Amino acid sequence: MYADMTRVVGTAIEVPKAGVQTGVPKIIPPIRKEPTHLLKVKRRLTVKPPIIKTGSMIGIVSPSAPAAGKFPKRFERGVKNLEAMGYDVRVSRHAKGIYRNGFTSASPEDRANDVNEMFEDEHVSAILCAIGGDHSSQILGHLDFDAIRRHPKVFQGYSDMSVLCNAIHTETGLVTFNGPMVMTDFAEYPKMDAYTGEYMLKAWSRLAPVGRIQPAKEWTEEFIDWGGPEDGKRAKKWQQSAGWTPQREGKAEGRLVGGCIESLEHLKGTRYWPDFDGAILFLETSEEKPLPYKVDCILGDYENLGVFDRIAGLIVGRPMGYSAAEKQQLRDVIMERTRKYSFPIITDMDFGHTLPQFTLPIGCRASIDTSAKSFEITEAAVQ
């Protein structure tokens, strides 16, 4: 009906010039642009934190959930176990708080200030997160990334802390650490398991690369109620591990990027979204057990965002709370969503919300060889 008035231009409308014969609308294709997800992202130079030694001061923050305030006995056990390893401990002002909404330890501004102050405190060598949660993304706009860049130090956590670990690395180039937290790992009874401690110390306290990581012989997903009578009275029940599961053969090398798949959703569409070019992507699911159909949806987004076009390899942590059938369905989903790609994949690895876990330094280089079921961190994480 626009034949006598206009011509269609892609999805726009062009008014014809006087004297130009009109008739059947002429479709003029829109200008093709390079998809934004394939544009080259400027990568900051990698900054490594100083090595952590016995006697170093460890600062504790709660950038999200108020678990330290709700379960003080467990928090104090984590602090004591940290001190027993030979470290001094400094607890941030709001780490043990419970904000009025009950969801967080403090307001976004106060939680961010705790992190900023720990980075600027010259006596603090490393910053450990007490716990994860769901609300760490609220503090991103209040973090002083310039101060973080000026005062590089170990920053460690997982789960919801994937948001902060990746955002800090993206904004500053600082190597951050996907690894144990105070209330989950350090507070285990009677102490943190040997495997988790060994690989954390190799990442924190050696100028050499962590090297090849061996699959754990045992694992556990048992949860003992932190407010119940058994917490702090008995160790968790462990079971034999079946090892890691190669899903697609191949070799790859690249920088480590990733974290908890649900938490990384908070970074989509923001300036903090990681640079995936040539990366080895690591993903794990939380204790909330997103069902395979949900993981399928998220990985579909990764396809559309071009993430799988850019990575060199994929490793996936052992899921918590899944039946054997659900674990297989999860593996099937991963293979279905990545069927167009050739990068190697290993699943059921020892990181994430089950125990034990090895520490992954975000920004450091690592390699995969599925034929040997091999995963190796090939670059030192500290200096």
Query: How many whole angstroms separate alpha carbon 277 and alpha carbon 205?
Result: 28
pLDDT(20) > 80:
no
Cα separation of 159 and 181, whole Å?
10
* Domain regions of the chain by residue span: 1-32, 57-208, 239-377
Quote the longest CA-to-CA distance of the chain.
91
CA dist., res. 153 & res. 151, Å (int): 6
Give the ranges where 242-291 is alpha helix by DSSP (H): 261-264
**Would the pLDDT of 3 be above 50?**
no
* Phi, psi dihedrals of residue 294, rounded to the nearest 5°: -70, -40
What is the C-alpha to C-alpha distance for residues 354 and 320, in angstroms, rounded to an integer? Answer: 6
Q: Is 366 helix (H, G, I), strand (E, B) or coil?
A: strand
Instruction: Collect all residues with Cβ–Cβ distance below 8 Å to 59 and sequence separation of at least 6.
Output: 89, 90, 91, 92, 118, 121, 124, 126, 127, 128
Q: Quick one: pLDDT at residue 69?
A: 98
**Given this model, what pLDDT does residue 42 score?**
55
- State the residue for tokens 């754990």: 216
DSSP three-state, residue 330: helix
Q: How far apart are CA 82 and CA 68, in angstroms?
A: 15
Which run of H or of E encompasses 115?
Answer: helix 108-120
Mean pLDDT of 223-229: 96
Domain 57-208 has CATH 3.40.50.10740: yes
pLDDT band at 101 (very low <50, low <70, confident <90, very high): confident
Is the pLDDT at 197 greater than 50? The verdict is yes
Query: What is the 8-class DSSP label of residue 142?
Result: G
- Report the alpha-carbon distance of residue 143 to residue 33 in Å, rounded: 34
Average pLDDT over residues 151-177: 98
Q: What is the 3-state secondary structure (H, E, C) of 26-88?
A: CCCCCCCCCCHHHCCCCCCCCECCCCCCCCCEEEEECCCCCHHHHCHHHHHHHHHHHHHCCCE
Higher pLDDT: 37 or 57? It is 57
Convert the pLDDT of each residue in 307-360 to its tens digit. 999 999 999 999 999 999 999 999 999 999 999 999 999 999 999 999 999 999
CATH code of domain 239-377? 3.50.30.60
Residues whose CB is less than 8 angstroms from the CB of residue 167 and which lie 6 or more positions away in sequence, other chains included: 140, 143, 267, 272
**Quick one: average pLDDT of 17-42?**
43
